[in-house]
């Protein structure tokens, strides 16, 4: 079986633990990266994960907001819990995991959403988002003959025209404004990251991982955005075996507005 990594903005891990359990039973990824866990470290539901065979757990959380966690069926080692923009809001966690004879540096990110007004002068949340992405330029896709890097998470930006349901209508909507998308792609390229979800997918094909709670019928309207991403260092591209966006999870009981993405690599 290939080495697999799932990423999911769960929007409260304790509230939606039954959904997490379903994902782990049905998909059995080697590693699961969660965002927006909304739980302080001392209350993280470790027992539930261990019961399902995920004995290796790392988290970076706080009460009620933000938070990331990485759980695995194989050993992981915490590398860093980085603070961005001089704000301690628990949005990053990196670990190492061994796969296919390589040491993989795995980054788990939750980028700020940015509020509603795409103006950094009047909206401090939007300024925070732009500053956060700028600091991500220091996160490089480190790799050599025996190592590689993978970056996953809710990056809260849909960078390409067909990563949203309507490019024209969302140009002034936070997550798809030109200042976000241009800086985001410049950061990705500067770090030598490969956007694996678009690697073998036609540019004109729509890709979504998020559907708003505001839609009365999210499936019928299908006004989605690709806010969740999977990147890797160039040397892991030959081992990339594809991915799946688990769209049906948006229809599970009491769902997150994001769905899981499961990426697979021939790195067993």
Binding residues for Mg(2+): 9, 36, 154, 156, 257-258
Task: Exactly one of 110, 143, 163, 243 is catalytic; name it.
Answer: 110
Active site residue 154: yes
Task: Exactly one of 30, 60, 107, 154 is catalytic; name it.
Answer: 154
Between CA 141 and CA 45 the distance in angstroms is 31
Is the Cβ–Cβ distance between 29 and 5 less than 8 Å? yes
Between CA 37 and CA 122 the distance in angstroms is 28
Between CA 10 and CA 112 the distance in angstroms is 15
Print burial letters for 170-185: b (CB count within 10 Å at least 16), e (below 16): beeebbbbeebbebbe
Which residues are CB-contacts of 173 (< 8 A; sequence separation ≥ 6)?
Answer: 118
- The dihedral of CA 212, 215, 217, 222: what is its sign? negative
- Using CB atoms within 10 Å of the CB of residue 32, give its burial: 0 to 12 exposed, 13 to 18 middle, 19+ buried: buried
- Using CB atoms within 10 Å of the CB of residue 248, give its burial: 0 to 12 exposed, 13 to 18 middle, 19+ buried: exposed
Active site residue 258: yes
The binding site consists of 9, 36, 154, 156, 257-258
Residues known to be catalytic: 110, 154, 258
């Amino acid at each position: 079986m290939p080495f697999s990594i799932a990423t999911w903005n769960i929007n409260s891990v304790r509230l939606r633990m039954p959904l997490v359990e379903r994902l782990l039973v049905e998909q059995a990824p080697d590693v699961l990266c969660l965002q927006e866990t909304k739980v302080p470290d001392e209350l993280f539901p470790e027992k539930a994960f261990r019961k399902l065979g995920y004995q290796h757990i790392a988290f970076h959380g706080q009460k009620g907001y933000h938070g990331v966690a990485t759980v695995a069926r194989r050993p992981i080692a915490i590398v860093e819990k980085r603070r961005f923009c001089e704000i301690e809001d628990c949005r990053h966690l990196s670990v190492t995991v061994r796969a296919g004879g390589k040491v993989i540096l795995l980054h788990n990110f939750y980028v700020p959403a940015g509020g509603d007004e795409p103006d950094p002068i009047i909206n401090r949340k939007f300024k925070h988002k732009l500053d956060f992405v700028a600091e991500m330029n220091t996160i490089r896709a480190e790799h050599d003959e025996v190592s590689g890097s993978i970056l996953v998470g809710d990056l809260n930006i849909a960078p390409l025209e067909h990563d949203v349901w309507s490019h024209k209508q969302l140009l002034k909507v936070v997550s798809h404004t030109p200042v976000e998308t241009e800086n985001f792609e410049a950061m990705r390229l500067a770090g030598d990251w490969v956007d694996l979800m678009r690697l073998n997918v036609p540019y004109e094909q729509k890709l979504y991982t998020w559907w708003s709670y505001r839609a009365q019928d999210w499936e019928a309207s299908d006004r989605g955005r690709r806010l969740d991403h999977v990147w890797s260092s160039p040397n892991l591209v030959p081992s990339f075996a594809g991915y799946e966006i688990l769209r049906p999870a948006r229809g599970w009981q009491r769902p997150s507005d994001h769905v899981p993405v499961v990426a697979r690599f021939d790195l067993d």
